[in-house]
Structure 1
Amino acid sequence: MSNNATEDIVINRAESTKIDAVNFDNLVFGEIFTDHMLICDYKQGVWEKPIIQPYAPFLIDPSAKVFHYGQAIFEGMKAYKDDNEDVWLFRPEENYNRFNKSAKRLAMPEVPESVFMDGMKKLLEIEKEWVKKGIGNSLYIRPFMIATGPGVIAAPAKFYRFMIILSPAKAYYSGEVKVIIAEHFSRAANGGIGAAKAAGNYSAQFYPTKLANEMGFQQIIWTDDATHSKLEEAGTMNVFFRINDTLYTAPTSERILDGVTRKSLIDLAKRENINVEVRPVLVEEVIAAAENGTLQEVFGAGTAAVVNPIVGFSYKEKYYELPKLDNPIALDLKKKLTAIQHKVAKDTFGWTVKI
């Protein structure tokens, strides 16, 4: 990070705060936002000076290319507060690097570190009181970029806006999760933008997920686009399978997002001497393991929930219930990872960054 972060950022503080009106014990994920946001515009090939200003709507041209050609990317991160009132980020450089990979894939300008990292740091300093202590409490960070350039010609825009907004969050829990293994729909295809955190990737999931919801399932485990024989992601999360005492997860690719939680869980599992294999996971082997009793756990991994255990899945109209374990690996890894994030356990990996 640069040493002149404050001098490089214009700060216009809100006249009042809405924090006192927020019930931090009863938060719905992603619905409440803090007093301030960061904005930085890209014009004429140059990034302008970042501005931190009160959270509010803004005007945009109806022909802005974000509306017509979907140039929009984002990241999801969290800030945590320890018992000493210090605020910490978790592996922010991973999100920064992935953001710019997404930008490059969608022909958008890369965001300088002085804008992304220093801007986020200053915004968090201003909104420090919105970060609450305690396991499960966090401040969700949403950096994103949209094409603001006008015109309906099918070409990349010339003007963009980078923003960061913040939302207080509690521990994410969606109850028992049952999923369907996809037989027709795919999340992404080779040569596409599946490895980017592009907005269109997520809207494309809404319809097949809606169909799954109507059948009583919460999410879909996506399969590869060509053969539908390889298991790839669960909903909007990376996915792990435990067969006997080995964890399996698919390698990242053009179709699979390089999840920060995913790679952290892999490293943490190896530290705990848990066997991990990163390789293509076949539908047929998971079905066989479910039928012979060796499939122990399936769980999603992502920023919002950290770990989301799956209690059962359906494939070709047959439902497979997973065993109820006394000491599941999924919840043990979640406990250990959240302890590092909240600074109640030693960070042996050097993942946490103090604000």
Structure 2
Amino acid sequence: MQSGFASEIDRRFMAAAIRYSRWHLGLTGTNPSVATLIVRDDGAGPRIVGRGVTALGGRPHAEREALEEAGEAARGAVAYVTLEPCAHHGRTPPCATALITAGITRVVGAASDPDPRVSGKGYAMLRQAGIEVVEGVLADQAADLMSGYLTRSTKMRPEVILKLAISADGMIGIKGQGQIWITGEVARRQVHLMRAEADAILVGINTALADDPLLTCRLPGLEVRSPTRIVLDRHMRLPPSSALVRSARQVPLLVTAAQDAHDERRALLTEAGVRFLAVESLDAHIALPELLEDIGARGFMTLLVEGGAITARQFLAEGLVDRLCLFIGSTEIGGQGIAAPIDPGQMSSGFSKLREERFGEDHYIEYVRSG
């Protein structure tokens, strides 16, 4: 329900707030990366007097950051918030109260918060204080950027993003050759940006053994935003000499391990800084739904699955993929290739196309689970 009317100016400032919310994706702990803009018009046109994004680690919230920057200029101004302001008390008053106290006269909101402590209550507090509220402005765009938080809030697990690089003839690799480059440098840099915005990245043990990857973000200036690495390794086959283990003290590494995994190998990996996720097995496979629940309980909101073919097929078969990101190269691999588990020509009816892009010579298509 809305009270008030959204103008073209409202949509313009909300679009700016949504872009700003991306600034701390993957860095806000268990809280979503939300943005707030404080805008006032003293007769010469609207101008931003305060802006805030959820702080590193999740506190303070965006509203408080923006109000602090605006100071007295917030009185009589408009607040643009990408997520409904919180309404529950912790050690500090809720953000809805902070907006009221600061003298904000109008609040324009985007996405709704499914948290029962917040849902509808933040807007209700603002209206009771006489503040005009407009809800749902560019809500889909805002929700798309905080889909990890929304997924964890409703499904009690992280959003699963499956990334695949596919050759022009539908292959994702060559048998027995480990990692090969299917896409160009521009597309590969885009993948590193995806890593910087994710909470965790996951591969299967076969990929870890064949490719010996680092799974870090290596874009200049964004190296510190590398996600936690997770390896599906039921029998603890990951060698201490691997690049993943050797970097475990610099970038967190979690290895899934069955209860009967080798104790000596566990001790070696623990000494190297590796941490473990206990898993259950079903028909010799790791129980993925239970694993995702455990990952979500650790506060992870987005999980980027990068390979390999067996792991991708398992996530797809169990209906656990929420977002599918396909980078399609221009070259063919041929008969020795490993077939992609899914491609645009055989897309499941459970997915709908969200966007298409070009990255250099490569084609990018992104799908989201329907409904």
Q: TM over 0.5, yes or no?
A: no
Normalised TM-score (structure 2): 0.26
**As a proportion of its length, which structure holds more helix?**
2
- Please say which structure displays the higher CA radius of gyration: 2
Identify the structure with bigger relative contact order (alpha carbons < 8 Å, sequence gap 6+).
1
Normalised TM-score (structure 1): 0.26
